[in-house]
Amino acid sequence: MKIVIIDDEKSVRNNLKQIIEDRFSEDSIVGEAHSVKSGLELIKETKPDLVLLDINLTDGSGFNLLKKISDIDFQTIFVTAYDEFAIQAFQFNAIDYILKPIDSAHLQNAIEKAKKLSKNSFITKDYLESILGNYSKNDDEKQLAIHESNKISFVDLTDIIRCSADSNYTIFHFSNGSQKTTSKTLKNYEQILPKSMFYRVSASCIVNLKYVKEYHKGGSVLLKDGIEIEVSRRRKDDFLNVLKERSA
């Protein structure tokens, strides 16, 4: 792979270069830049396969840089200082990122994943719009990127009734009666879906609190689509408290 590093901190660029040279000797770093302007020029000149891109550059953001490219034909790994909202936006859109200070194992995993991805996984304008939207929107206005076998769908969180586990897959059930299946686990979605909207009632199901119609004292919840879900015994008291807080 031809790799480009775009980061406004020279020490970070040097660290990234050292790790790549140590662990990916078969790949080549074809250039580095520190700004949106120099980064765009470098990408145009070198035509890289992978770009390690800082979010905050001297003259704008990594998002600004990508929006200026009409046809993105390279993989992107974002490099960022810890930012809860930015990280949540990346997770919602299933985009890879690494945190500063750089962890060599995390970087290696991210690059190995990038090597395996197909051209269909390049960041698109829809991806960028969704990332930027999720970065600033309230929870009930956000979208989630769901990777299916042959496409990526952007869905409104408010349209999800529940998520159910099927081995290592997750099935999303929507208010219009449709379903989508993705190869990520339910635990993955438990970590990124906002707690203000979703609750994991059992090992196999996460429900959207908006669609809770009834709670049955025997330990189950009836959703507005007519499906009744068992609530695990150890989650029952906490779930009841959550429902009481929403109705207060």
Structural contact between residues 43 and 74, judged by C-beta atoms closer than 8 angstroms? yes
Residue 94 reports pLDDT greater than 60: no
For the segment 48-68, what is each residue's pLDDT rounded down to a tens digit? 999 999 988 888 888 889 889
Task: Tokens for 187, please give them.
Answer: 């635990």
Give me the domains of the chain, ranges plus CATH numbers.
Answer: 2-133 (3.40.50.2300), 156-247 (2.40.50.1020)
Cα gap 218→82, rounded to integer Å: 43
* SS3 labels along 89-110: HHHHCCCCEEECCCCHHHHHHH
Cβ neighbours around 201 below 10 Å, total: 23
For the segment 95-121, what is each residue's pLDDT rounded down to a tens digit? 678 888 899 998 999 999 888 887 767
Cβ neighbours around 24 below 10 Å, total: 18
Count how many Cα atoms sit within 13 Å of the Cα of residue 63 in the half-sphere of its side chain.
Answer: 16
Cα gap 158→172, rounded to integer Å: 12
Of the chain, the percentage scoring pLDDT greater than 70 comes to: 90
Three-class secondary structure of residue 20 per DSSP: helix
Structural contact between residues 161 and 173, judged by C-beta atoms closer than 8 angstroms? yes
pLDDT category, 91, cuts 50, 70, 90? low
Closest residue by Cα to residue 185 from 203, 174, 170: 170
For the segment 202-244, what is each residue's pLDDT rounded down to a tens digit? 999 999 999 999 999 889 999 999 999 999 999 999 999 999 8
Task: Tokens for 209, please give them.
Answer: 């609190």
Provide the β-strand partners of residue 216.
220
Amino acid 58: pLDDT:
85
